[in-house]
Chains A and B, each alone.
With several copies, the nearest count.
Chain A
Amino acid sequence: MTTQDQLSAWVREFARQVTEHRDELTALDSAIGDADHGANMARGMGAVVEALDANPPATAGALFKQVGMTLVSKVGGASGPLYGTLFLRFGTAAGEVTELEAAGFAKAFRAGLEGVVARGRPEAGDKTMYDALAPALDALDESLDGGASLGDALRAASAAADAGRDATIPMLARKGRASYLGERSVGHQDPGATSVALLVAAAAATLG
């Protein structure tokens, strides 16, 4: 069971983490992209926190829609629509509630993943954020199905996201800018998968 406060704390913790890892994200994006993923995520999540402070949403649905709208209108690039859609769909699926059961949380998060797939059409192995997000949600569902607490399930999801992130290293990119590099994309960790791992780690640190 997660409360509205915990959900906000998750969002804030994600903001803190992307800011802390800003340079790392940019360095990863320098190697196989255009060196802006750190700036994009830090700018977007900075605006999200500002909006949260100015106008704390009352429900989970409102919270995540606000996060999603803010990202769509502040980030740009690929990550703006992708993360924006993730949170918008998350919010719609969560609904106008102030608490989320573990199963409801997992369902909403998966709706977010489906939003990412609808927008960017990533497939497993394309070397994108999908490759961290999909395994994380599979682990979350599996743990919860096995009777784990949300906290334990999120820790398993975070480990899966990290593993998914690491698994992007040997992949040959087939989506996004890294795909332009062909073989040269091999050997580099995907920036979007890295920021997704932070998102799931932030959830494990704040929820359940």
Chain B
Amino acid sequence: MKKLINDPADVVVEALRGMAAAHPGLRVDLENRVVFRGDAPVQGKVGLVSGGGSGHEPMHGGFVGRGMLDAACAGEVFTSPVPDQMVVATEGVDGGAGVLHIVKNYTGDVMNFDMAAELTTAKTGVEVQAVVVDDDVAVQDSLYTAGRRGVGTTVLLEKIVGAAAEQGRSLAEVAGVARKVNERGRSMGMALTSCTVPAAGRPTFDLPDDEMEIGIGIHGEPGRRRVPIAPAKEIAEMLVEPILADADFTSEPVICFVNGMGASPLLELYLMYGEVATLLERAGVRIARSLVGPYITSLDMAGCSVTLLRADDDLLGLWDAPVDTPGLRWGA
């Protein structure tokens, strides 16, 4: 295993220590592994808490700041944080207007956030709502799965919902925006290589030099199917087609997000974006905004995902609003 780390057991806390040093505007609680906005809690504003396993950087810690999250809980690599962390985060961002938990749909994340919400409400009376993101079209949403995974839409959602909270909207309104974004977002991902979990020390799966995985999530889990490697043009089709088959994206402008899984360089991501944009144009989808880069990653996995979000004027306005976080920054 080749990584810029010390003891694999210390990866998460040492990375948080580096984040704290690099971003003095954030307050990082190393003991509880929670990244806070420096000015949290913001009085009168709905507090936004997210979190999940580590290994997806910049998500979530890198999305803490004005116009986006108030706090993010960092779990072990690919392991949901524990309720204690979420309780600390929730209490720390409560500015009297309630707190929204943004949870990606994984059994562990959902169970731990549920426990945290119960605990916080019992302890402090803070009003907590949760929105569960489940946008991965690679997974069938049926009785026979744990439901769709939460992947790329989470990034767009945290930005947009962050802007809504910053505007002073109520908890019900902010939660409504979150649910709306989730309903309108769809993603599909692929991997050229496996990632290596530090504590495991070896790649999660073996992938021959001439094969790739289609329909992967963000935890190094194998995908839905393994196929021979293909040119970017064809990979773009394999990602875009199932998204367009799952929902209509022609009726309103979309935000198009091409995400890198961690080890795929920007050169390749832009090339992929070009392919995706061409396919969308051909399908009658109008791209209003775009995002290209590694924002929701899977450690050192090479590969990418595509997320489409059907927007409207409100969502576009919220997308364009100022944001000031380590991972996304504009207008500030």
Contact = CB atoms under 8 A, between A and B. Distances in A.
A78 B221 contact: no
A30 B82 contact: no
| A-side interface mostly | helix
Q: Which of B108, B149, B222 has the most CB of A within 10 A?
A: B108
Contact of B106 (A31, A177, A184): A177
B220 A34 contact: yes
B138 interface: yes
A72 interface: yes
B80 A77 contact: yes
B166 interface: no
Interface in A11-38: 26, 30-36, 38
Q: Which of A34, A72, A73, A179 has the most CB of B within 10 A?
A: A34
Contacts of B222: 31-32, 181, 184
Interface stretch (B62-70, B153-161, B198-206, B322-330): B198-206
Interface stretch (B17-25, B139-147, B280-288): B139-147
A26 B200 contact: yes
A34 B205 CA distance: 10
B296 to A, nearest CB: 15
B78 interface: yes
| B-side interface mostly | loop
Given A30-B204, A35-B78, A176-B107, A76 B197 contact: no
A36 B77 contact: yes
B292 interface: no
A180 B221 contact: yes
A181 B146 contact: no
Given A36-B76, A81-B112, A73 B221 contact: no
B56 to A, nearest CB: 12
B79 interface: yes
B219 interface: yes
Interface residues of A, number: 35
A43 B205 contact: no
B111 A82 contact: yes
A184 B213 CA distance: 12
A26 to B, nearest CB: 5
B79 A36 contact: yes
Given A35-B78, A40-B76, A176 B111 contact: no
B7 to A, nearest CB: 13
Interface of B: 9, 53, 75-84, 106-108, 111-112, 115, 138-140, 143-146, 149, 197, 199-200, 204-205, 217, 219-222, 224-225
Interface of A: 26, 30-36, 38-40, 43, 72-82, 119-120, 172, 174-177, 179-182, 184
Given A30-B204, A176-B146, 17 more contacts: A26-B197, A30-B200, A34-B197, A34-B220, A35-B204, A39-B200, A76-B53, A77-B80, A80-B80, A82-B111, A174-B145, A175-B107, A179-B139, A179-B145, A182-B140, A184-B224, A184-B225
